[in-house]
Amino acid sequence: MSFVIGVDAGGTSTRALAVAAAGTVLGSGRSGGANPNSHSPETAAKHLGEAIGACLGGLDPQEANACVVGMAGSSKLTDPAVAGLFEATWARLGLGEVLVLTDAEVAFASATAAPDGTVLIAGTGSIAGRIRKRRMVSTAGGYGWLLGDEGSAFWLGREAVRATLDALGGSDELGPLATAVLAEAGIEVADRLQAWRRLITVANAEAPIRLARFAPLVSAAPDAGPILNRAATLLVEIALATREPGEDTPVVLVGSVLNGPVGARVRANLSSLEVLTSTDGVLGAAWLAAVEAFGESAVRPRR
């Protein structure tokens, strides 16, 4: 039987599909996160092996025509020792050559069959990528929380805390956003100066990326419009930075931040372009595997 394997290896979960040449799903598997930056490489490789093994069921892995893994943290495989762990996993499973791509590339492919375009990711962090022939050839943003990640959940959370500190330092009544941030931080406002000091202490007591936990409060607060507008503007800027003048290829949105009010604003700002949403990266990985095996006429997988 002609079939391919597609894998979406994220930070929290790994999903794998075995898909026939006709596009029908033959088997599926799931395991824990397989991002070798957020997990040990040994754990990441183990989870990948579990998910792929489960999707194969009774299929002979040596008969797979292609296998594509979309991996968050795939840059870690530039370390020969880490790459060796994953190659050992492929060998143990009985697979031939495995093509490892970025999670951005499989996310783009999950939303469109177009070979060229832009992928804009905004979850805990943010990055935009230029896609050419279904591969990411350049990026904008993606510098991490210390140097960038504009418009991301981290950025939204940080701006929410800063706005709350500004509000505490003033004399006006605290608005919905500031009230929500203080409640999330477990701070009572008996004394505004004490609450100001306490919020600074709480924010600095945790890993910086934990500021992302305040992001949902921004999306829900009726007085957070300026922060949401600024986030959308920054994300559109990095998306457009990856595009050529007059380019009319699709833009694919990926990530939790772009599923809410920030995403709506991004869409409005990009209304002259085709803007799509990635919903299932594992289908993108499976389709890219099918293209590798069967060419450009490969059938897109369907659940």
Per-residue pLDDT averaged across 173-202, rounded? Answer: 95
Confidence (pTM):
0.85
**Residue 209 pLDDT grade (very low, low, confident, very high; cuts 50, 70, 90):** confident
Residue 170 has pLDDT above 80, yes or no: yes
* pLDDT, position 282: 93
Residue 1 has pLDDT above 80, yes or no: no
135-141 sheet: strands from edge to edge: 135-141, 126-132, 117-122, 251-254, 275-277
* 3-state secondary structure at position 36: coil
* pLDDT, position 153: 92
Per-residue pLDDT averaged across 240-264, rounded? Answer: 94
Angle value at C-alpha 219, between 138 and 162, nearest 5 degrees = 85
* pLDDT, position 214: 96
What tens digit of pLDDT does each residue of 48-100 get?
999 999 999 989 999 999 999 998 888 889 999 999 999 999 999 999 899 99
Q: Which residues pair with 13 in a beta bridge?
A: 32
* pLDDT, position 151: 95
Are 144 and 125 in contact, with CB atoms under 8 Å apart? yes
Question: For the chain, what percent of residues have pLDDT higher than 70?
Answer: 100
| List of domains in the chain | 3-112+280-294 (3.30.420.40), 115-249 (3.30.420.40)
* pLDDT, position 145: 82
* pLDDT, position 88: 95
Average pLDDT, whole number, for the chain?
93
**What does the DSSP assignment read for 211-241?**
GGGGHHHHHH-TT-HHHHHHHHHHHHHHHHH
Stretch (H or E) spanning 165: helix 153-169
Residue 38 has pLDDT above 80, yes or no: no
* pLDDT, position 207: 87
DSSP 3-state percent helix, strand, coil across the chain (nearest 5): 50, 20, 30
* pLDDT, position 293: 94
* pLDDT, position 202: 95
Residue 185 has pLDDT above 90, yes or no: yes
